[in-house]
Structure 1
Amino acid sequence: MTESISHRKIIHIDMDAFYASVEQMDNPLLRGKPLAVGGSEIRGVVSAASYEARKFGVRSAMSGVQAKKLCPEILFVPPRFDRYKEISRKIRKIFFEYTDLVEPLSLDEAYLDVTENKKNVPSATILAQEIRKRIFEEVGLTASAGISVNKFVAKIASDYNKPNGQKTVNPEEVGAFLEQLDIKKFYGIGKVTAEKMYQLGIFTGYDLKQKPLEFLEKHFGNSAQYYYQISRGIHNSAVKPNRTVKSVGAERTFFENLSSEVFLEEKIISIANELEKRLQKSKIAGKTITLKLKYSDFSLQTRSKTLPYYISDKNLIIDVAKELLYQERLKNSVRLLGLSLNNLNNQEKTKEAPKQKSVSVQLQFEFY
């Protein structure tokens, strides 16, 4: 059976080592040196690593202690999120000069649907080159890009020629491109799932494509349909300019581990203050409060409670958070504490995204 899907021209822009690159741009003394944003040689977790540090195996979410072991010369700097947001706004302003269909995934990456664009340029590849050039000239940072027929393939492609490069996967090339990839390169297949697929003899996109849907359902349950489709390059999710916020949170990593609920109560108050500010800025409230605890052995525990009404007031958040804190005894000393609010009341605030026209696969696409 021949599968028929509509194609769009999607660009995925991904800034290169964004946080670390901003720090190196702002401080010439850091340029060319292995750098970690966040963490330290005795505490904390790395938020981002420069390419000089990545050569030693340093990665985001790694402990600062481990980063120091891998790269003794590494430099640690505290994150400056206000600065990163400022730079991100400048970059997005450039995006919107090309299309209104921009879907940010984070401060440093976004999807752009340029099937129909404000420049009336038929080549998505040329547009991606121009956008990257403007980011470098106007902001001072490099970006990589992936260009293809849907979000899934474009995101994989953006990682292909990093840093400061781009990769175009034309409609007729999608199948061969995915078949030769290691399965761990597939967006949506994490480390645990990849290991399970290896055990089942699935090492590449080609291997995954050979497995019937029944086999995938047996081993992967509800995710089977997704894996079946992406192995064939099918991903019909549109670029959504108005993504609904599903959760708002704040957390703190402590300089010293805390082993008493009494000390954690004090931290709850300061974190709740920050969470309230974020909720007020977004003008939303939620029903479900989640307390996140990361212990000294790096194990993670969450405790949640859903209320019959929406809240955003810090005092109510604190009351519920304390209740969750004392719900059961601590398993160990605590290195990180977080609070988040989900089950939000922003569904009705989501505006309808501009309608996107499907482009038939039979049309000649100018990706080059």
Structure 2
Amino acid sequence: MGRIIFHVDVNNAFLSWTAVDLLKKGFKIDIRKIPSAIAGNQSKRHGIILAKSPVAKNKGVQTATPIYIARKKCSNLRIFAPDYELYKKESDKLYAYLCSYSKYVERYSIDECYLDMSNYKFNKEEFIKLAYKIKNEINSNFGFTVNVGIANNKLCAKMASDFLKPNRVHTLFKEEIKDKLWPLPVHKLYMIGEKTAKRLQILNIKTIADLANSDFNFLQKYFKNSALYMYEYANGEDNSQINYIKEKNKNISMSITLPIDIQDKDELKSILLNLSKKVAVRLHNQNLYAKTISITLRNKYFKDTQRQTKLYNATNNYKEINKTGCFLLDSLYKEEYIRYVGIKLSDLVENNEYQLSLFDENNNDNGLDKVINKVNSNCKNKQVKIVPASYISKK
């Protein structure tokens, strides 16, 4: 598959994040489903609309217009003040979550990120399945939706994520450029502003295909230094790299909010086993090992308790992760009803410098684990297990 880039873009970020926050605080209405907008100071007649709900959009409300104009088009428009501190927190949560899937994440803006997923040895269908998994997990974990674009470079990934919204996954691979990118109006191409689009129209360049098939010298005559990127972008060419920040203490975590409160410790351990397998798959996919394991339990009164331990040797073996997790659970659990279970792996390293012990029972079955994790990552309801050969012979 070569290079694979995901572009994750939050749908209507400011309004969505405000809506989720209001619902958490007991607000009875989801403002995404009514005529609403995020806008500047309402006391000033010329406050500007920063974001609007789909309902408001259908009534003619537009971003970057004054509030008084928006109210003329939608008399029952409800205005909510922006909360930039909240938006930063939600953006940070999204970024941290995406870092659990790739070491190479670029925060392009407050509501969009690029991920280099080239480390995953997947085929096209598996990448699409992974994108849907990320999209759906963001919705279930955080309450807002995203679009995910998949492509061979950053430009095409961003273009793909803009195709149709909200809550969608789109691809724009090299072989799809002529069919998916070229038919679009030229103003849809990334970095083509309104003035440039008008100049292109005058030159009878109306679609991205027209631009892609234009004579480069002709373009250079009218657009000087901008002609090169315009021509390359129209042909889906982009060699820009992911500008990621190296972080020493990234972590990988998985959690579940249970549909009913559970008091059975064995059932909690069964849930923990499933979570251990999932975080192990992520470790294997990124060729990482964890030195610290922690678990969190939340009771029915929403009180969290947490325990963590540092391992003698870093691991990506789900059995070791689960064994440690169960030990921590035993020390935490107090015969109470539990509604949430989480496991987190931290102090991640790329090399497992194994320290031998005279009493070590490790069988060095990481190779087999990798195969099993690969199979399990593609199975929804069934899991591969190891059984002794003696068990098979008895059958």
Does structure 2 conserve the Cα–Cα contact (< 8 Å) formed by 1:10 and 1:111? yes
Counterpart AA for 1:197 = L
TM-score, scaled relative to structure 2: 0.57
CA positional deviation for 1:26: 2.6
User: 2:39 matched to which residue of 1?
Assistant: 38
Q: Paired residues, what number?
A: 236
Aligned counterparts of 1:165 and 1:121: Cα–Cα separation in 2 = 20
Aligned counterparts of 2:150 and 2:141: Cα–Cα separation in 1 = 22
1:85 corresponds to 2:88: yes
User: 1:319 matched to which residue of 2?
Assistant: none
SS of alignment partner, residue 240 of structure 1: coil
Aligned counterparts of 1:132 and 1:102: Cα–Cα separation in 2 = 16
1:13 corresponds to 2:8: yes
SS of alignment partner, residue 47 of structure 2: coil
Q: Deviations 1:207-246 (Å, cap 9, x if unpaired)?
A: 1122111111111111000011111111111111149xxx
1:129 corresponds to 2:124: no
User: 2:341 matched to which residue of 1?
Assistant: none
Aligned counterparts of 1:223 and 1:83: Cα–Cα separation in 2 = 37
Of 240, 245, 251, which residue of structure 1 is paired with 2:243?
Answer: 240
User: 2:171 matched to which residue of 1?
Assistant: 168
SS of alignment partner, residue 193 of structure 1: helix
Aligned counterparts of 1:141 and 1:164: Cα–Cα separation in 2 = 9
Counterpart AA for 1:23 = T
User: 2:201 matched to which residue of 1?
Assistant: 198
TM alignment of 1:75-114, pairs within 5 A:
75-114=78-117
CA positional deviation for 1:139: 0.4
Aligned counterparts of 1:61 and 1:21: Cα–Cα separation in 2 = 18
Cα RMSD over matched residues? Answer: 1.9
Does structure 1 conserve the Cα–Cα contact (< 8 Å) formed by 2:156 and 2:173? no
Of 210, 220, 229, which residue of structure 1 is paired with 2:213?
Answer: 210
User: 2:19 matched to which residue of 1?
Assistant: 24
SS of alignment partner, residue 166 of structure 2: coil
User: 2:73 matched to which residue of 1?
Assistant: 70
User: 1:220 matched to which residue of 2?
Assistant: 223
CA positional deviation for 1:31: 4.4
Counterpart AA for 2:12 = A
Q: Looking at both structures, which has the greater relative contact order when contacts are Cα pairs under 8 Å and sequence separation is at least 6?
A: 1
Does structure 1 conserve the Cα–Cα contact (< 8 Å) formed by 2:32 and 2:54? no
SS of alignment partner, residue 47 of structure 1: strand
Does structure 2 conserve the Cα–Cα contact (< 8 Å) formed by 1:43 and 1:64? yes
Aligned counterparts of 1:229 and 1:166: Cα–Cα separation in 2 = 24
User: 1:50 matched to which residue of 2?
Assistant: 53
Aligned counterparts of 1:236 and 1:142: Cα–Cα separation in 2 = 29
Does structure 2 conserve the Cα–Cα contact (< 8 Å) formed by 1:25 and 1:31? no
User: 2:315 matched to which residue of 1?
Assistant: none
Does structure 2 conserve the Cα–Cα contact (< 8 Å) formed by 1:104 and 1:111? yes
CA positional deviation for 1:121: 4.7
SS of alignment partner, residue 33 of structure 2: coil
Of 57, 60, 80, which residue of structure 1 is paired with 2:63?
Answer: 60
Structure 1 residue runs without a partner (length 5+) = 1-5, 244-368
Q: Which has the larger radius of gyration?
A: 2
CA positional deviation for 1:57: 3.1
Counterpart AA for 1:217 = Q
Counterpart AA for 1:33 = I
SS of alignment partner, residue 112 of structure 1: strand
Does structure 1 conserve the Cα–Cα contact (< 8 Å) formed by 2:155 and 2:190? yes
SS of alignment partner, residue 65 of structure 1: helix
Q: Deviations 1:146-201 (Å, cap 9, x if unpaired)?
A: 11111111111111120111211232112332211111111100111111111111
Q: Deviations 1:320-364 (Å, cap 9, x if unpaired)?
A: xxxxxxxxxxxxxxxxxxxxxxxxxxxxxxxxxxxxxxxxxxxxx
SS of alignment partner, residue 147 of structure 2: strand
Q: Deviations 1:30-73 (Å, cap 9, x if unpaired)?
A: 34112111234822111211222222232332222222222222
User: 1:151 matched to which residue of 2?
Assistant: 154
User: 1:307 matched to which residue of 2?
Assistant: none
Q: Deviations 1:281-310 (Å, cap 9, x if unpaired)?
A: xxxxxxxxxxxxxxxxxxxxxxxxxxxxxx
Structure 2 residue runs without a partner (length 5+) = 23-27, 247-395
Q: Deviations 1:231-271 (Å, cap 9, x if unpaired)?
A: 1111111111149xxxxxxxxxxxxxxxxxxxxxxxxxxxx
SS of alignment partner, residue 180 of structure 2: helix
User: 2:342 matched to which residue of 1?
Assistant: none
